[in-house]
Amino acid sequence: MTYHPKSDFMRVMTERGFVADCTDYQGLDEALVAGVVPGYIGFDATAKSLHVGGLIQIMMLRWLQKTGHQPITLMGGGTTKVGDPSFRADERPLLSNAQIDDNIAGIKQVFAKYLDYDAATPPLMLNNAEWLDGLNYLDFLRDIGRHFSVNRMLSFESVKSRLDREQSLSFLEFNYMILQAYDFLELNRRYGCLVQFGGSDQWGNIVNGIDLTRRVLDHQIFGLTSPLLTTSDGKKMGKSQAGAVWLNADMLSPYEFWQFWRNTTDADVGRFLKLYTELPVDECDRLGALSGSEINEAKIVLANEVTTLCHGANAAAAAAATAREVFERGGVGDDLPTLELTRDELGGGLSIVQVIVRAGLAKSGKEAKRLISENGARIDDAALTDAALMLDADALAAPIKLSAGKKRHALVKLADETRGSA
């Protein structure tokens, strides 16, 4: 991109690597210079928490507010009932209204950390069920559906890739892009929203909304997409060996969150510092250019900064202290993920394979057995070679540390069954 932005927001976006594409760089930049610009990102409520794959968009909203504009977080209470087919091989499972409401309550927690609700331009938290749930189908087809060309919709890569593989695309899913376009129209009509942000896989949906709003309201609005991030070794951002890296502490402990960032590949450190922290760009470049053992210090800075934003400074400091205890002094640490087992659960003995799975160090018994057979499992830092090992209450007289490889650990201990008793 050769355009040199005048607005603080677009300068930050371009300098820090947030921009994949924009429908009109100059038009958006001039709107941002002229006054307060409301901008939105939509999040479908498919789980009780977002994961780090969505963190780049959350940081865009944060920067939007920090540069004097109004972030709008749109919860997909309506669109979640349909499911976004973009670049998926199959249809999303349909959720009940109660599940969707429960998921929205969980997702809302993270925005209180990243956005300032007491600011002069407080963020808006909206739910598209507000206008989608009450739609009259025939009126919607006549007033909105007539603006959409099926030929054009079929040409979008997100749809084409599914059809090219001869995978079913239901009529329900096909409607998703019309509903998302309608969201942008309603946000512009009701709240003056001028820009939609999203990952580059949302480009077609965003352009649809801009086109619909121009046709119905004759308003100019904009779209800005971020790159779809993969790590330098080709893995999709948001996944770890143990599964999704959730942003809510009740779904992934702050220690495990911290560890995810501490384990960043060397080549990704500088890029991730620019995207996921607020350190000055020059400092991100300096830290990212370190090599050898020094790059590990940069990774600790990355882990501390990102964890502080997501979980608070105290959680970041506790995670860093636990990591030092575990890795530098070979101790157990106070903040490790902990599995508590009752005497009843242990009974006559619980297999070490089950314990490894329940501690979150393997997804299945098969994976746990393979971990043991390949000498990747340790118990109190000693090699664990016996997959038939049984643990009973006596074995947990003192807590034990289980390890999978060099970087993933969990504490296993006997539950205190006197807590809460009279």
| Nearest-10 Cα torsion for 51, 49, 81, 95 | 120
* Residue 326 scores a pLDDT above 80: no
Helices (H), 165-280: 171-174, 176-191, 203-217, 254-262, 269-276
253-329 to CATH, choices 3.40.640.10, 1.25.40.10, 3.30.750.24, 1.10.240.10: 1.10.240.10
Say how many Å lie between the first and final Cα of the chain, rounded. 68
Please name the fold of domain 338-414: 3.10.290
Q: Is 48 annotated as a binding residue?
A: no
Contact call for residues 111 and 122 (beta carbons, < 8 A): no
Backbone angles phi, psi at 86, to 5 degrees: -55, 120
- Taken as a whole, the chain contains a residue count of 422
Candidates 332, 274, 222; CA nearest to 15 is 274
Residue 410 φ/ψ, nearest 5 degrees:
-150, 150
11-51 pLDDT, tens per residue? Answer: 999 999 999 999 999 999 999 999 999 999 999 888 899 99
So what's the pLDDT on residue 330? 53
As a whole number of angstroms, the distance between CA 174 and CA 376 comes to: 46
Write down the pLDDT at residue 67: 96
Mean pLDDT of the chain: 86
Q: Which tens digit of pLDDT belongs to each residue from 229-240?
A: 777 767 777 655
Burial of 125 (0-12, 13-18, 19+ CB in 10 A): middle
CA separation for the pair 411, 409 (Å, rounded): 7
Specify the DSSP class assigned to residue 394.
G
What is the DSSP secondary structure assignment for residue 230, as one 8-state letter?
B
More confident of the two residues 389 and 190: 190
Both tokens assigned to 174? 């096909």
Give the predicted TM-score (pTM) of the model.
0.77
**Band (324; pLDDT cuts 50, 70, 90):** confident
User: What tokens were used for 230?
Assistant: 């993969």
pLDDT reading at 422 higher than 50: no
Nearest to 88 by CA among 121, 129, 123, 44: 44
Confidence (pLDDT) at 327: 61
To the question of whether residue 191 is assigned a binding role by annotation, the answer is: no
In the chain, what percentage of residues exceed pLDDT 70? Answer: 91
369 marked as part of a ligand binding site: no
Residue type, 293: S
Tens-digit pLDDT profile for residues 199-210: 998 888 899 999
Model pLDDT for residues 382-411, shown as the tens digit of each residue: 778 888 888 887 777 667 788 888 778 888
Closest among 247, 253, 264 to 303, alpha carbons compared:
264
- Cα 292 to Cα 279, 289, 297: the distances in Å are 22, 10, 10
Q: Domain limits of the chain?
A: 8-229, 253-329, 338-414
Mean pLDDT calculated for residue range 334-358: 82
Say if CB 304 and CB 316 are below 8 A apart. Answer: yes
Query: Annotation-wise, does 6 bind a ligand?
Result: no
Joined together, the tokens standing for residue 20 give 């994949």
Q: What is the pLDDT of residue 415?
A: 79
User: What is the 3-state secondary structure of 47-80?
Assistant: CCCCEHHHHHHHHHHHHHHHCCCEEEEEECCCHH
Per mean pLDDT, which range of 112-121, 233-242, 259-268, 290-299 is the poorest?
233-242
> Given this model, what pLDDT does residue 107 score?
93
Alpha-carbon distance values, 192 to 40, 143, 240, 291, 336 (Å)? 11, 21, 39, 48, 46
Judged by average pLDDT, the poorest of 87-91, 192-196, 371-375 is 87-91
CA angle (13, 86, 124) in 5-degree steps: 50
| pLDDT of 160 strictly over 70 | yes
Contact yes or no for 378/403 (Cβ under 8 A):
yes
According to CATH, the topology of domain 8-229 is Rossmann fold (3.40.50)
Query: Given this model, what pLDDT does residue 148 score?
Result: 84
| 293 or 52, higher pLDDT | 52
At 89, the pLDDT band (50, 70, 90 cuts) reads very low
Helices (H) and strands (E) in the chain, counts: 19, 15
Whole-number pLDDT of residue 337: 79
Residue 241 has pLDDT above 70, yes or no: no
Q: Is the pLDDT assigned to residue 87 strictly greater than 60?
A: no
